Chain A
């Protein structure tokens, strides 16, 4: 098989959004997660009202994919079925699970919200990204105690080897109690340079760099 090349990468943590080594946005320390994510959305200059209905994790994933896919441009040459998505994190949808649980504990006003419940699944952020970018190939969500570059690389390599995709978005997305962190890669076949080779080492290196 020919090499797999990292075409784009992006990480977003509590301080900044960085794509391919260039800072895209920097957050003010005093702002809340909600404010930060809304600023990010505004800075992207895309009208997508659905954004405001998402939970923090989906907003984060959505914004990360927006950078990574250059507003959808990266998919110009491939069909929706040839695009795949593999995400991972540790806490699944715990942030929204807790919010939903609180509404179940509210005895005076027992009105659990359907729109909150919808986001109490890890893979809803994957669904949101697929809807936004018309990704109709394989999508999966792996849960592990810590960032597992090996699992992501194995999984993605097999997708390419089985010719199930021509492009794959993969990485880690997690938002919990006002803090967030995403790190995503867009991988495709092609010539690569050492620092853009799709390897466990390169993924781990970038992950380290994105840690606060």
Chain B
């Protein structure tokens, strides 16, 4: 799990062009949207792509994305749950 979380942080920084953010500094339990990283609705759509590209998991709508992308930890949990299924 910790490896998955570390990878996810790397991938998020890369996918969203968070150039001056150190992946390790992202708190996996902190909300991804609304504060901290300053992400917006387009970033949410990019995270949908990230899930599809790196984990072959489809997040159908932006609304579903809101739950899945609430934090890095939530994303990791979603990946684990959907990979086993």
B interface list, Cβ under 8 A from A: 16-21, 38, 42-43, 45-46, 49, 52-53
Contacting residues of chain A (100-125) with chain B, CB-CB under 8 angstroms: 109, 111, 113-115, 118
Which partner residue on chain B sits nearest A114 by CB separation? B45
| A49 lies within 8 A of B52 (CB) | no
A15 to chain B, nearest CB (A): 24
> What are 16 of the A-B contact pairs (CB < 8 Å)?
A49-B18, A49-B20, A49-B21, A52-B17, A52-B19, A52-B20, A53-B17, A113-B46, A113-B49, A115-B16, A115-B17, A115-B42, A115-B43, A115-B45, A115-B46, A118-B42
A interface list, Cβ under 8 A from B: 49-50, 52-53, 109, 111, 113-115, 118
- Chain A interface mostly: helix
| B38 lies within 8 A of A50 (CB) | yes
Q: A52-B17, A53-B16 are in contact. Are A114 and B38 (CB under 8 A)?
A: no
B15 to chain A, nearest CB (A): 9
A193 to B13, alpha carbons, bound, how many Å?
Answer: 49
| A49 lies within 8 A of B53 (CB) | no
Tell me which of A50, A111, A114, A118 contacts B53 (CB under 8 A): A111
| A114 lies within 8 A of B18 (CB) | no
A115 to B18, alpha carbons, bound, how many Å?
Answer: 13
Which partner residue on chain A sits nearest B37 by CB separation? A49
Tell me which of B17, B20, B38, B53 contacts A109 (CB under 8 A): B53
A49 to B52, alpha carbons, bound, how many Å?
Answer: 25
